[in-house]
Amino acid sequence: MDKLLIEEELKNIFLKYDKNGDGRLCKKELKNAFRELHSWIPGFRPRQGLHAADVNHDGFVSEDEMGILVKNALNLGFTVS
């Protein structure tokens, strides 16, 4: 599968968990997304993803920061099937 396609699919999975529609993901929403990606440590991955992607340190991953989160997930070996 093309890397850009995988990145887009991962981004769509993460955005699907923006349950309140505010255009950003909180730690709980990230945890649910990583659970769908079959993370074996679903509590750790959101903290790690938030730490890597939250460049403005507001406690959320915004759509502007989503690319960083996706690249971090790919580097950790997450993919879509």
Q: What is the pLDDT of residues 16-70, one digit of tens each?
A: 999 999 999 999 999 888 888 887 766 677 888 889 999 999 999 999 999 999 9
Taking 3-state DSSP, the helix, strand and coil percentages for the chain, each rounded to the nearest 5, stand at: 60, 5, 35
Per DSSP, the chain holds a count of helices (H) and strands (E) of 4, 2
Domain count, the chain: 1
C-alpha distances (whole Å) from 12 to each of 5, 57 are 11, 23
Is 80 inside any structural domain? no
Residue of higher predicted confidence among 81 and 12: 12
In this structure, is residue 51 part of a structural domain? yes
Tell me whether residue 81 is in a domain: no
pLDDT of 43 = 66
Residue 68: domain span: 3-75
Residue 24 within a domain = yes
Q: What is the pLDDT of residue 25?
A: 94
The CATH number for 20's domain is 1.10.238.10
User: What pLDDT is stored for residue 68 in this prediction?
Assistant: 93
